[in-house]
Amino acid sequence: MKALIVGAGIAGLATSKFLSDIGWDVTIVEKAHGPRTSGYMIDFAGSGYDAVERAGLLPLFQARHHNVEAVEYVDETGKTRSLIDYNLTRESMNGRLLALLRGDIEAILLEAQPKGADIRYATSVKEIVQHEDHVEAMLTDGSRMQADLLVGADGIHSHVRDLIFGPEEKYLRYLGYHVSAFMFDDDRIAADLDGGFKILTVPNRQFAIYALDDGRLASLDAHTDASRERPRDPAKKMREVYGDLGWYLPRVLDHADRCDDIYYDFIAQVEMDHWHEGRVLLLGDSAYAVSLLAGQGASMAIGGAWVLAHLLENANVPEALDAFEARMRADVLKKQAAGRKTANWFVPPNEFQNVVRDLFLNATRLPGLKGLLRNFFAPSLKSVVRE
């Protein structure tokens, strides 16, 4: 059996790995010119954790875990307002939680591909033609390829979705926030942070700075914004939004001005009535982006890839795709709903909401209240990976 996967990010590489494990011949096409190493820190738990454990990859993920002691929310003077004890959080989740960079997850999955894996960078699909027993794709390099299954794993702005289902405006639920991230070097900030993870939080804006194991620093910021347009100059936009704030931000914004690899996007969810048409399936963010507000998007992508391979091992392609949607949809909808409900927690719209969050987080460290953390992370713990 032959699969063509569009996208060599987390969803595409996981799908390739798990399909290869059950004997499929896989080709991946990726519009980028090579593997991506950037990306922000995420909490990795739930479905993805279960999937990589069953695939024998968990030790590789554990080896890339960043030893985050705590996540501190600070004011403009750097004074701690509240904090999340990360070790306590992991304990509340029975240890099944890792702090990983998105780029590290991609690197692990890339290394896990079978020897001689067919990954074609600087290539994408130009046209897709469906037949009863196969799908045919014209690639941007001029070649044609036939496959039993085409998987669109090309992210929230999926080109495969555009080709098969129509423009993204039909499916994106804009949540009213913009986000950006980049990495940089700054010895002074690194010394002050001393390995920490701190988030400056003011109404409608938050800016995280954290240390990486190799000495670099990384940032992740989010702010409310009614526009669905992504700026041509992310660094200029960041300065417009955060330029009046103190703490380390003046130095960080100077670094942003010199950075040519800033991730910038708006925060949205993908809502679709169905994720497959014929022998074309959308998987991961292209089909069911849960958004940064909900978290666990990478985990849901890996979990979905494992479910797909498991179903294809025991059924033909049409039956497996139907079963995939039946298996995944309820959990995806719950996760998306949870993300929308926690928006005011993620970027509080006013100081009152900031104070409420601080009170809750500080309460989780009181004796006997560890269960609050588990309840907060409950949507992340439910797994689509089950026998």
The model's pTM = 0.92
Closest residue by Cα to residue 109 from 5, 245, 218: 5
Residue 84: what pLDDT? 86
Q: Which residues of 317-350 are buried (b: 16+ CB within 10 A; e: fewer)?
A: beebbebbbebbbebbeebbebbeeebeebbbee
Residue 346's pLDDT is 83
pLDDT tens digits, 333-372? 988 898 888 777 888 999 999 999 888 888 877 765 555 5
* Predicted local distance difference test score (pLDDT) of residue 177: 94
pLDDT, tens digit, 9 for 90 and up, residues 247-294: 999 999 999 999 988 999 999 999 999 999 999 999 999 999 988 776
What pLDDT sits at residue 352?
92
Domain hosting residue 130, numbered range: 2-37+101-172+269-343
- Least confident span in 2-16, 132-146, 291-305: 291-305
Read off the tokens for 164: 């098969």
Domain count, the chain: 1
Percentage of the chain beyond pLDDT 70 is 95
CA angle at 139 for the pair 285 and 134, rounded to the nearest 5°: 80
Amino acid at 136: E
Residue 321, both tokens: 């795709």
Q: What is the mean pLDDT of residues 53-81?
A: 93
Look at residue 190 and give its three-state secondary structure: helix
| Model confidence band, residue 36 (pLDDT cutoffs 50, 70, 90) | confident
- Report whether 289 contacts 156 (CB < 8 A): yes
Phi and psi at residue 31, to the nearest 5°:
-70, -25
Backbone torsion region of residue 217, taken as left when φ is above 0, otherwise alpha when ψ lies between -120 and 50, otherwise beta: beta
User: Is a pLDDT exceeding 60 seen at residue 381?
Assistant: no
Residue 90 CA to residue 97 CA, distance in Å, equals: 5
Question: What is residue 131's predicted lDDT score, i.e. its pLDDT?
Answer: 94
Residue 214 predicted with pLDDT over 90 = no
Q: Are 273 and 226 in contact (CB under 8 A)?
A: no
Is the separation of the CB atoms in 316 and 62 below 8 Å? Answer: no
- Asked, for residue 79, whether it belongs to a domain, the answer is no
**Per-residue model confidence (pLDDT) at position 342:** 79
Does residue 105 lie within any of the structural domains?
yes
Burial of 111 (0-12, 13-18, 19+ CB in 10 A): exposed
Please check whether residue 24 lies inside any domain of the structure: yes
Give the E-state strand segments of the chain in sequence order: 2-6, 25-30, 41-44, 70-74, 80-85, 98-101, 118-121, 125-130, 135-139, 144-147, 149-152, 172-184, 197-202, 205-211, 217-224, 263-270, 276-277, 280-282
pLDDT of residue 170 exceeding 80: yes
User: What's phi and psi for 162, nearest 5 deg?
Assistant: -60, -45
Instruction: Give the DSSP H or E segment for 319.
Output: helix 317-341
Query: What pLDDT shows up at residue 168?
Result: 93
Please report whether residue 13 resides in a domain.
Answer: yes
Q: What is the CATH number of the domain that holds 126?
A: 3.50.50.60
250 within domain boundaries: no
Residue 291 lies inside a defined structural domain of this protein: yes
Please give the pLDDT value at position 85: 87
Residue 86 lies in a domain: no
The verdict on residue 216 lying in a domain is: no
Residues above pLDDT 90, as percent of the chain: 72
CB 339 within 8 A of CB 300: no
Confidence band for 378, pLDDT divided at 50, 70 and 90: low
